[in-house]
Every structure is written in structure tokens, then in C-alpha cells.
Structure 1
Amino acid sequence: MTAETNRLKILVKEKLADSGVDLLREHFDVDLGADWSDEEFRSRLPEYHGILIRSATKLTEEYIALGTNLRVIGRAGVGVNNVDVPAATRRGIVVANAPQSNVVTAAEHTMALLLSLARNVPQAHRSLTDHRWERSKFGGVEVYEKTLGVVGFGRIGQLVAERAKGFGMKVVAFDPFVGAERYRDLGVEKADTSADVYKVADFITIHLPVTPETQGWLNAEAFAQMKDGVRIVNCARGELVDDAALKDALDSGKVAGAALDVFPSEPITDYPLFDGYANVVVTPHLGASTAEAQDRAGVQTAEQVIAALTGGTVTTAVNIPAIAAEDMEVLGPFVPLCQVLGKLAVSLADGSSIDRLELEFFGRIGERDTRLLSVAVLQGVLTGHTEEDVNQVNAPSIAEERGIEVVETKKATSRDFTDLVRVTIVSGESRERVVGTNVGRRNRPHLLEVWGQRFDLQLESHLALFCYRDVPGMIGRVGSVFGEKGINIVSAAVGREPGDDGPTAGGNAVMAVTTDAPVPAAVIEEIVAGESFVAGRAVNL
């Protein structure tokens, strides 16, 4: 058999930049299948060792099973929502994307909209092409020495800040998942809350991920906190802005103008702000639509496919744990625990930034390559708080980009438990520590310390925590309110402030309660408002 017939086969299922296809052809036999019928796609899928797609092709578990020779799936873009990653992982197929392909393009489009909004460029263009000379009608505002507020300071937010500073703008940003040092490196003022951004910004651009917590982030309450005459830019996600609240703010004059590239549903041609709003600039989701971004996505994805099939390092894989099998056997059961501890720690941290993560591993796990556990903690901390999906491969680089230092300590012994994990979030002078372990043959995760108090509680999906003065009757008060609200307690544990001779009555105590359903924030607030309560928090794990 000749070398030529031994070449691996790649299917490019959707339109890809020629530069990416040419790069693949240097190594493999490449077929283009953008115009294939579903029947042809199904019948020929077993021929290929790798496949490149964009967003239109849905690689479900069924299609992945048909690809009996598949070793790698390349997604030429940021997300991988159209790929069944767990199904691919089970079959040993690498899934890689191009997470940085459009960040420059998105930042540049944000600035393009901001400048168009400031100088009424689209409106003036339309007027002149309609054969009207209305020079006095389209006077704008300078951006020089104006304040740009950036809500969400990840990759794109930081690139926008750099470009805005080039125009002489002052930049203030809010993102509690970025280290304080990162703001200083970029010459950007760090805001402790989004309200601190609103009260000083002349322009506001939002770059948050869409989660239940961030949907409608710019709502009526947010607009009310802003300066009169503020201008809004959204090139991130349509769901981040409350449409009705923005319309009201524009109608009242509170918001002087808005520039939108994204909308709650797309494609869309019928939108309340498309008609009759001369101070609104809109584009049809062009944030990633440049030749360079498309070219970059194709080349980056091709490079990852080549690396996967030639023994190279797949730097953007979303499903490869780089750890030895013997370490995985010991550490694997602790991955869910570490993710939960990371999520719990960040939900309790009250600082305005995450400057450092201190991770401590004791016992048998402390003798192993614990990078996998560190990454699991990072996933718990960052998931839902960044523009991109967080996975085992990209979590460390995302933390680094956000200026979050990760410090890992290992020790082969543990005083009270076979294995122990401590996670501490440091924000300035503030420290928030949680401690946990696995118990029993089924490796049940147990919470051992929170808010400085020790106890032992098997973790479930829904957790409520209360800190209070250690006086009689507090447990009963929590139970009574839960009962009134129809909330069923699964288990509970209490930790008391230790003294020289053991727990000291009259100090602070912490109660941890698991329930069979989420505890509404209003219930926590009602309990904490009672006498002797210090704090309360509900966390869904």
C-alpha cells in the first residue's frame, strides 16, 4: 500500500476559509461536503478520521456513532453546543474549537458601534443617500476624555478597554472574576459593583456570559442608576439587556442612544427599536463577521485537527484530561468534589475580585499529580462567569488571562481524614475557605468547613448556610420557617466556634442544611433578618 493511500481522510462539512482547507490538504485527503444531503452524510461518515464543522451541523450521539473511524471533531468557532461532547468523549474522540478566533473582531465591532453611536454615522449616511443635506441635524459627541464602563472584563472586555484608551477614554470596569492586578496592568479602574460603573460612565458596553443570573442584567433598576444621557452598546448577547426597560429609558431620555448587534432571538427583522428611533444603531450580529475572523477560525481549527491526528498537542480540546491513568484512578472520584468546593467558595466570597486561589490537597491525593483537581476547582469557580465555556483544557488559561493566581500545596498525610481538599479564595485582605472530602465506597462528597466552622455534612444538590450567634433556639427557628414555606430538610449539621476547651457558647455558629429543592433567596433573607443571625446563603450545586 502506498503512502498516498495511507493518508487519513478529513471531511469539511461546512464552508471553511480556503487557508484552513489548504492547511489540511498538506497532511490529509480532504473532501468538502457542504452541499451533501443528510443521506449522503450518514452513508459516508464512516470513511473519515476527522470532521470540521461550524454551527449548522449537529453532531448528535447518533451521528458520532456512525463515525466509526472518527478521532477528532473540529468546530470552527467558539462554542461546541452543536456537538455531543460526552458521546464523543466516550468514544475517545477529541473535540476542539477555536475559542479566540473572533475576540479581536468582536472588540473592534464594539468600538465601531460606539463611534457610530457617538457621531451618528449611520443616520447621517442614510440622510445623505436620501439626497438630504442635514449637517446640523447630526452633531455628535466626542469620546475623548469620556468614561467607558465595561461590564464583564474577560478577553473581549479587556480588548475593548485597550482600544478605548487609544481614543483617550477613561475606562472603568466591573467583573468580580478578574484579579485586581489585571486591572492595574491595563490601566483600568476597577469597580467594586456594577452600580459603581453606572454612576460614572458616559458609555457602557456589556460583555457577560448569558446565565440565569445575568439575563436582563441591564434592566430598569440598572438604567435608573446610570448617568442621564448615557449611551449603551451591546455586542455580546441579546438576552443581557431588558428590551422593554431599554425602550423606556430611551423614551424618557435617560439613555441618549443605544447600539445593538445582538437580539433576544435571531434572525429578527421586527423589533421595537428598529422603527422611529433615530438614536439607535443596529447591525445583524456582525460581531464575528470579518474575513480575518473566518480565516482565523478555519486555520486554528485545522491546526488542532492536524495536532490530534499527528501526535501533537491539542491546545483547545474541550474533553482531554491530561493525566496518567494511575493518577486518574485515585483522583477521578475527587473531581466532582473539587468542582463543588470551587462553586461553593466563589458563592460565599464577598470580595470585588478574585486575586488568588489557594488549593491544598492532603492524604493519598497529595501524592499524585493534582493538576486535574486544580482544574476542577477552577471549573467550579469560573463556570457561568466567563464569556466562553470553561473546560478541563482552557480553565487555567482563562484564570491566567483574568489575573487569578493559582497556588497549589500538597501533603501526603491528613490528620483527621484519609484525604482532604481545602479551597481558599483570596480577594484583597478577604479570605474565604471551604473544606471537603469523600466518604465511603461510593465516594460521597462531604462538606467539613465553611465560614470558619467545622462540621460534617454529606453534600446534596441544594444547600443553605446560616451564620448566627450561638444562642438557644436558632436551629428551631430555621426549621420552623422552612416548614412554613414547604421546604423539606434532608440533613443538617452545626459547627460552633472553637475555644481552648472546645466549642464556646455565645460565639458564632454555622448551620449547614441540605434540602430536596432550591431554597428561594427570599426565604434566606427572611431568616437572616431575624435577631442573632449574621449571614445566610443558598447555593445550588
Structure 2
Amino acid sequence: MPKVWIADKMSGRAIEVFKAHGIEVDYRPGLSDEEKLAIAADYDGIAVRSSTTLKGPLLDAAKRVKVIGRAGIGVDNVDVETCSRRGTVVMNTPFGNTITTAELAVAHIVAAARMIPQASASTRAGLWEKNRFMGMELTGKKAGVIGAGNIGAIVCDRLKGLHMSVHVYDPFISDERAAAMGVTKVATVAELAALVDVLTIHVPLLPATRNLIDADILAAMTPGSIVVNCARGGIIDEKALYDACKSGHLRAAALDVYEQEPARENPLFELDNVSFTPHIGASTDEAQENVAVQIAEQMSAYLLTGVVTNAVNVPSLSVEEQRLLAPYLLLAERMGSFLGQTMRPGYSRMTVHLEGHAASINRKPLINAMLQGLLSQSMEEVNAVNAGMLARERGIELVESARENADNFATLIRLQVEGDEGMRCVSGTLFDEKRARLVSFDTCDVEVAPAGNLIFLQNEDRPGVIAAIGAILAAANINIGDFRLGRREDTSNAVALIQVDTAPDETVLAELAKLPNVLMVRFAGLGDI
């Protein structure tokens, strides 16, 4: 019988779930490091929240463990790389806290608009300053939501319930999805900031989102507006926020997250028009029970049947399936990554067609690998397990087809993505059942390995284009490793796939785009194979 150790404080419902599945469970939170080391080898699964760190000696001591479950989203307290190397599945519960976090954001918006924290402190002090706390009515105002994923979508719905008009910046939702949500999609963060009275943030902290809300964005906001961050510290430049609030340009700000946590000291604490909570987005009884039940169910399913749900490090594949699918998964991920880097986000439909041998293999991991490549360019923690779920949340329709007969290749995968920018298609195959190749782009037959630095260029088929491209790359000291050309069927247009030794910067790409007869230039970095 599998045996699980619940190492951190967790809802008792987790114990009930494990026992209901016939799994032996020990609830032993709060042990010393020495006590943890002494018992770690006795368990097939370990469930944690954030207190226990499964790294180094403790992870080494857990020699029998098959699955680690994090009741929550972040897995910073687990050495995922080591777990992957030794075959330990790491699971989390990425959606157990969504309603709770969304409700906190809305609560902060209302509290900031009506100055509730400040009025509470004043009243408690016996001052009765009615005239001081003149608030802002939210009905009829414009709300801006950065990120319309699982949490952001709930916030949009709640703000609509307050009779606010809701505007969204999220490059990963299509116009169709925005319309279905009843929100207005805008093209840039700057445009959103200048438009709204309230701005709330619901995106992960990534290199692309660090200091996303900087001094320029705050300066563009309407005087007297409100900013709320219940997502991650570091997305707002706190120095710029301090200046905007201290000057009175912003009416108010509210934070649940900070650049440095625990936030025991912060210059923003000096300001009366900024309110704070200590990262309590997930801190409700309901949310904690949800994540406890979910992680217990997920761990039980894996220990008893091998079913993997919300794993952050491995797909749900048998050893034999993994061996068979490995070259296909690489090809599929690279095809998705290529389109994700050469096509602007806002996807509405992904169509996958399989021919020949590809039509007979396990299709789901293949499709998830394509989605992983497509979505992972700007989204946090996208993997082959959760990619399908993330796509569904963003309203991306998935269309699949297959036929066992093949035309030109023994096995072929065609991936077509439609969205705000139109449609783009790429096809790939395997030579000798192992060598991955991209073999067509839209309607052009062009063969290239899905690796390295690729410049994708569309142009009118006129003399001199190739020479002009070579001159610009030579001037930038960029060496061409391969140059593949193809013509579009029944048109006067062509495409070029240029494999270069070093990645071009934005200046080089802009120079290429300005060339006569060049219609579009994109770059994709695909890594080694």
C-alpha cells in the first residue's frame, strides 16, 4: 500500500481523501530538519505547502518517493530538476486559488476607491473625518485588466458586475475570446493605462513582465486613477509607483505582493494613499481546502493508477511510448515554437493534421507538445501536461484530423494556427524515423532543420532580394549557415528561411523589413537538436 507524508499544515480534508483511496497517510507538519531526514525514506509521496523545502539532503533522503505534491502554485521549494532526473513526478494545484485571489483584487479596488483602510484607522482613532474620505464611485468607470487568464477572467467578470466597462491587455487571447468575455481588447499596456480609471494586474513575473508598469506607464495613466497588484512583486516598479502616489498623480494604489518579501520595510509604507496586505491572495479557508483536496486526489491517482495531473516536470507517457514518441515530440514542440515566435499572439484556432505513420501514434502528447511550443514564448510554467488546459482557457479551438495514407512523406505533421494576424502553417516530417525536418511553410516547400537561429522572411519574388539580405547580414557580421528559398503557389511571392550563426538584434531585423519587396521579417530561436 502506498504511504504518504503530509509535511506541512494542510486542511484535514487531504487526510480524508488519501484514506478514502486506501492510501496510508501520516500528518506530521512542523518537524525539525533532523526529524524530517529521519523519516523521509519511509514514503512513496510527500505533500507540502511552502514551509518544507524538498532540496539537497532532504530530497536525497527521500529515496522511495515517487511523487511530490505542492498544495498551491509555486514549486520554488522543490528541486524540480533533480526530481525530473530521478523520475519523481512533481505536481502542483495551479487553479485552486483562482477565485480567492480574484476576489482579493476586487476587494482592494473597492477599498482603494472608498479609502476604507484609511477611514478605518481614522475612525478607530476617534477622529470622525467624514470630509477627508471623499471616495470614487466605480459604476460607469473604466477598468483595465492586464492578463485575462484564469484569475484575470474572473476579475473581469466581477468588475462587470460592478457595472464597470472592462478593457483587457492580453496578447494571448483572440478578438473572438475577448468578445465572448464581454471585454474590450487593447493592443498595448500603454494604451490600456491611458484609457482606464482602475488598473489591476494578473500576469506572471517573467523577464518580459518585470517592471511592466514603469514610470512612463504610470505617467500615462489618467490623473486620479487607481493601481492594484495581487499578482507578483516586481511587475510594478515600486520607486515609480512611490513617485506617482506621493505626487498625487494616482489617487491610490493597493498591493498584496512586493519586490522583496517578506516586506517588513518599504518606502511605500510611508504613503497614506497606498494600502497593503501581506501576500494573502490564497489565504481563505475555502482556497486552502481546495488545494489540499486537489493535491490529495492527484497524488492518489498517480500512486494507484499512474495517471498524471498538473505535473510540472513530466508528461503522462509510458516508457515505451516515450521512446517511440521522443523524435515526434521534439519536432512537434519546435513546430509550435516556430509559429509562436513568427506569429503574433491572439490565437483563436489550432488545426493539426497527421499523415502516414504519424496518424497511428498517440496524438495527445504530440498536440500538447505543439501547444507547449506555441504558448511558452511569453507564458509561465507551460508544459506538455498543462498546455491543453491553458489553450482552452484562452478560447483556442483545437481541430484534429488524420489519415493513414501519405502523399510525399512516410510521416507528416501539419500545424496551422489562426488568430488576430491571420493564418500561418508549417509542416514537418521525420527522416529515418529520427531526423526532424520542417518541409513547408504556408504553401511553400522549403526544407530546413528545426534548430538554431532562423530568420523567416516573406517577399515579392524579384531580383536583388537575396543580395540585399546578404549585404545587411554581412554588415552586421552575421554569418549565414543555410539559406532556403521557396515560392508560394499561384502567387508572385516567396519565402526564405535563413539559418544564421548568431541571433540578429531588432536593428538588423528592422533593416531587413525595410528592404524593397520584403513583406515580413520574423525571427525564431529554436535551440539545438
TM over 0.5: yes
Shift, 1:46, TM fit: 1.6
Matching residue within 292, 310, 317 for 1:316: 310
Matched position secondary structure for 2:347: coil
Residue equivalent to 1:131: 126
TM (normalized to structure 2)?
0.90
Task: Note if contact 2:312-2:381 (Cα within 8 Å) is conserved in structure 1.
Answer: no
TM superposition score normalised by structure 1: 0.89
CA deviation after TM superposition for structure 1 residue 152, in Å: 0.6
List aligned pairs for 1:9-408, cutoff 5 A: 9-25=3-19, 27-60=22-55, 63-251=58-246, 253-275=248-270, 277-311=271-305, 313-319=307-313, 321-323=315-317, 327-350=321-344, 353-386=346-379, 389-408=381-400
Cα distance change on mapping 1:457 and 1:384 into 2, 3 Å: closer
Distance 2:376 2:421 in 1: 24
AA at the equivalent of 1:415: D
For structure 2, which runs of at least 5 residues remain unmatched after alignment?
none
Distance 2:61 2:132 in 1: 62
Equivalent position SS for 1:17:
coil
Aligned residue for 1:437?
A: 429
CA contact (8 A) 1:348 1:432 kept: no
- Aligned CA distance change for structure 1 residues 251 and 444 (closer, same or farther; 3 Å): farther
Q: How many aligned residue pairs are there? A: 525
CA gap 1:272/1:344 in 2 versus in 1, 3 angstroms: farther
| Structure 1 residue 458 displacement after superposition | 1.6
Corresponding letter in the other structure for 2:327: P
Q: Report how far residue 133 of structure 1 moved.
A: 2.3
Residues 31-89 of structure 1: per-residue CA shift (max 9 Å, x gap): 34433333432332221111111234333476545333222211111133433445434
- Aligned equivalent of 1:4: none
Structure 1 residue 238 displacement after superposition: 1.7
Once residues 77 and 330 of structure 2 are traced to their aligned partners in structure 1, the CA distance between those partners, rounded to angstroms, is 25
Residue 372 of structure 2 contacts residue 384 of structure 2 at CA under 8 Å; is this kept in 1? yes
Report the 3-state secondary structure (helix = DSSP H, G, I; strand = E; otherwise coil) of the residue aligned with 1:237.
coil
| Equivalent position of 1:471 in the other structure | 462
SS at match of 1:160: helix
CA distance in 1, matches of 2:512, 2:331: 28
Say whether 1:421 aligns with 2:406.
no
- Identify if the C-alpha distance between structure 1 residues 70 and 164 changes in structure 2 by more than 3 Å, giving closer, same or farther: same
Equivalent residue of 1:273, what SS?
A: helix
Which amino acid in the other structure matches residue 520 of structure 1? Answer: D
Cα 1:369–1:312 change in 2 (3 A) is closer
SS of alignment partner, residue 74 of structure 1? strand
Match of 1:516 in 2: 501
Moved more, 296-305 or 146-155: 296-305
Q: CA deviation at 1:188?
A: 2.4
Does the 8 A contact of 1:435 with 1:449 survive in 2? yes
**For the structure 1 residues 308 and 459, does the alpha-carbon distance in structure 2 shift closer, same or farther, using more than 3 Å as the test?**
closer
Question: Is the contact between residue 524 and residue 536 of structure 1 (CA under 8 Å) also seen in structure 2?
Answer: yes
For residues 220-259 of structure 1, give each alpha carbon's deviation from its aligned partner in whole angstroms, at most 9, with x where no partner exists.
Answer: 4433543333211111112222334334443554433221
Q: 1:374 to 1:135 in 2, by over 3 A?
A: same
Q: CA deviation at 1:104?
A: 1.0
Specify every segment of 5 or more residues in structure 1 that has no aligned partner in the other structure, as ranges: 1-6
Seen in structure 2, the aligned counterparts of structure 1 residues 496 and 314 have a Cα distance that, compared at 3 Å, is: closer
Identity rate, percent: 36
Given candidates 466, 478, 502, the residue that maps to 1:487 is: 478
Shift of 1:97: 1.6
